[in-house]
């Protein structure tokens, strides 16, 4: 199938040359992420994949390192889908109209946050850094802060991911 793909693709179409060197796969080394994004005390964030860095049109990806005991206020991200992959540490997620649901995720776990879900992210450890990879279905920095009294009040530092500019 792979060998036939080119001929099937070109069959019946005017031949168009694409510079795959410039418009093909991009590798963004882990030590070359872009820290030139808004920062918040208690955490560090960096962009790996966006339009400017890789030509991405529909997704954004980066890393978030959250210091111990950081929490967000209640919010949602409009129509964006989010995926959080926990690399190190323990994340606690609260969600629902009153943040009444709770679940925890550890290294190797994926967290999916659907559009419009009211939620709060918490570093569940008081002494270990939480390291995550974050992927969003769009590049617009959509965040809607909600007037919900958090079950776990933000204290020490507020965790804001890269879309909370």
pLDDT in tens, 24-36: 899 888 888 888 7
Residue 156: predicted pLDDT? 54
**Residue with tokens 């964006």, as numbered in its chain:** 80
Residues with Cβ < 8 Å from 12, sequence gap 6 or more? Answer: none
Of 95, 89, 164, the residue nearest 133 (C-alpha): 89
What the chain holds in terms of domains, given with CATH numbers, is 26-145 (2.60.120.10)
Q: Residue 8 is inside which H or E element, if any?
A: helix 2-10
Decide if pLDDT at 43 tops 80.
no
Of 153, 42, 135, the residue nearest 99 (C-alpha): 153
Residue 2: predicted pLDDT? 52
- What's the pLDDT tens digit per position in 7-23? 445 555 567 899 998 88
State the chain's mean pLDDT as an integer: 82
Contact 119, 98 (CB under 8 A): no
Residue 160: predicted pLDDT? 56
Tell me the CA distances in angstroms from 128 to 63, 84, 121, 122, 123, one per residue in order.
16, 18, 15, 12, 8
Residue 8: predicted pLDDT? 46
| CA count, 13 A, side-chain hemisphere, 68 | 4
């Amino acid at each position: 199938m792979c060998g036939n793909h080119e001929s099937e693709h070109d069959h019946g179409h005017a031949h168009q040359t694409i510079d795959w060197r410039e418009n093909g796969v991009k590798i963004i080394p882990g030590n070359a992420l872009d820290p030139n994004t808004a920062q918040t005390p208690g955490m560090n964030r960096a962009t790996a994949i966006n339009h400017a860095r890789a030509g991405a049109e529909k997704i954004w990806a980066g890393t978030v390192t959250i210091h111990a005991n950081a929490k967000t206020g209640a919010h949602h991200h409009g129509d964006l889908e989010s995926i959080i992959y926990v690399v190190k540490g323990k994340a606690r997620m609260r969600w629902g109209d009153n943040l009444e649901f709770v679940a925890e995720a550890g290294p190797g776990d994926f967290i999916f946050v659907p559009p419009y879900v009211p939620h709060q992210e918490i570093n569940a450890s008081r002494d270990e850094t939480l390291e995550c990879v974050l992927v969003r279905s769009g590049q617009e920095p959509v965040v809607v802060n909600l007037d919900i009294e958090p079950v776990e009040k933000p204290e020490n530092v507020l965790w804001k991911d890269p879309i909370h500019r």
